[in-house]
Chain A
Amino acid sequence: MTAARKQGQQSVIFAHPPVLSAWASIVGPKEGQGPWARDFDKILDDYLDGQSSWEKAENKLLQTTVKTAVAKAGLDITEAELLLAGDLLNQIISANYAARELNVPFLGLYGACSTMAESLLLAAMLVDGGFFERVVAATCSHHYTAERQYRAPVEQGVQPSPSAQWTATASGAVLVQPGGNGPRITCATIGKVVDMGITDAANMGAAMAPAAGSTIQAHFADTGRPSDYYDLVVTGDLGTVGMKLLKRIFVQHGIVPQPVYSDCGVLIYDGLPNVKAGASGCGCSAAMLCGPLLQKLSRGEINRLLFVATGALMSPISTFQGESIPGIAHALAIENT
């Protein structure tokens, strides 16, 4: 019998921590104006990127990112054994069509904006379990495809609420391998769906913050690590409103000392004018992880990162039917060992 790898209620510890051997991120023009431009692999010149529709542009974005990540590891795309990917659109079309073109065995995932953590933790489990040796975890989002599905036509003149977030046009992909050089995933915590009754679709940070709080609390409880263990705890896309709320939740749940904490949705547009509450979207946390954050880890500027991608599991249909917005968050400990 193998040693128990599950620890506590919701966490897993990796016996042989899988390595993030290569990663890539591509962002849109707006994200490229932010402070992290030099850490992304490519910045798109425009939102269509030579395609005939935004959906096709998003599909190309994901494809290119996966190819770039695999190429950076010195491998050909045919050598990738499995692709785990998802996106925000109905029937996860960006991931499905990207997988059609890439011709790699594929498992499609939906975790809204938490998809980067979901795909990465599954990739780590499959690699640590000895099933695969080259697994790619990836996700993407595109501002205009998300806008038309979740909100209003682009040219419609609406006034955004100050708590509204801007869906990032961005993507990230990571290659997970059992050995080699690079930061390793040491443990992970799978989140529960938490719903505190928020119905305002223009305030998704508030809908997701309790889920992030629940997962982070479970992570520290399960692993027995002190709350200041990590050099940085980063959430996916809570934005300025959700970030403030999560800091209050840390105090309420007794997560002290306060972790060194930030949020990808706040960081990605840091310093840009007129961004309201910051960014959202699968690509927001994915590009921040597969660009600036992993870069910082590999340069040794930080050594212990807790990456907590957050997702608002909403649909326009359930919103119109008066349902509140459920949130989810998964945590991954990524460390230089």
Chain B
Amino acid sequence: MQEAKSEELKSLEKKEYQNLVNQVKPKPPLLKNFLWAFGVGGFICVIAQMLLNYLLFRGMSETDAGSSVAVVMVFLGALLTGIGVYDKIGEKAGAGSIVPITGFANVIIASAMEFKREGYIFGVGARIFSIAGPTLLFGFTASVLIGLISYWLK
């Protein structure tokens, strides 16, 4: 009985403390963060769109042009990560630079750079997808499932 009561008191204390923390905790500057994310994310998409339009204009087929744009954007993301610029952009832009495909390149290259000192097998090899891994696994799984569904529906 005594023990049950002290447990209850403890969880009440914790709840009270959590409320206090929420009062004191600084609020992120939401509007500023939104604008940065919108601006940077939009800018990345505009570059990709311009590239796509250019490739289509030069007579590339739609599927080929789409794949080429993805390749170029991944390269740009990797390059900016390699020269130490992408993390500075990400600090300001948040999801604006994480969500586009350049952000995907960033997490892979950043992991590879980070673990190079532990060697190419157990460092780079084993850890390169430590952050992008879940995206790959569940992305592949989802694409297979959707492929099967569309196959059965036809």
Residues of A within 8 A of B (CB): 52-53, 148, 152-163, 196-198, 203, 206, 210, 240-241, 244-245, 248, 277
Residues of B within 8 A of A (CB): 13-14, 17-18, 20-21, 24-29, 33, 81-82, 84, 86-95, 97-98, 103, 106-107, 109-111, 113-115, 117, 131
> CA of A197 to CA of B21 in the docked complex: distance in angstroms?
11
Instruction: Count how many pairs of residues, one from A and one from B, have CB atoms less than 8 Å apart in the complex.
Output: 93
> CA of A157 to CA of B97 in the docked complex: distance in angstroms?
8
With A196-B13, A197-B17 known to touch, is A154 a contact of B24 (CB < 8 Å)?
A: no
Which residues of chain B are near A158, meaning CB under 8 Å? Answer: 87, 90-91, 98
With A196-B13, A197-B18 known to touch, is A157 a contact of B28 (CB < 8 Å)?
A: no
> CA of A90 to CA of B97 in the docked complex: distance in angstroms?
32
Which residues of chain A are near B82, meaning CB under 8 Å? Answer: 155
Determine whether the beta carbon of A155 is less than 8 Å from that of B110.
Answer: yes
A203 interface neighbour in B25, B94, B98, Cβ under 8 Å: B25
With A156-B87, A157-B86 known to touch, is A203 a contact of B92 (CB < 8 Å)?
A: no
With A155-B110, A155-B114, A159-B94 known to touch, is A244 a contact of B87 (CB < 8 Å)?
A: no
Which residues of chain B are near A159, meaning CB under 8 Å? Answer: 33, 90-95
> CA of A241 to CA of B33 in the docked complex: distance in angstroms?
21
A156 interface neighbour in B28, B95, B106, Cβ under 8 Å: B106
Which residues of chain B are near A206, meaning CB under 8 Å? Answer: 21, 24-25
Determine whether the beta carbon of A162 is less than 8 Å from that of B131.
Answer: no
Determine whether the beta carbon of B17 is less than 8 Å from that of A196.
Answer: yes
> CA of A197 to CA of B13 in the docked complex: distance in angstroms?
10
Closest to B95 in A: A159
> CA of A162 to CA of B18 in the docked complex: distance in angstroms?
17
| Shortest distance between the CB of A167 and any CB in chain B (Å) | 15
Determine whether the beta carbon of A248 is less than 8 Å from that of B24.
Answer: yes
With A155-B106, A157-B103 known to touch, is A245 a contact of B114 (CB < 8 Å)?
A: no
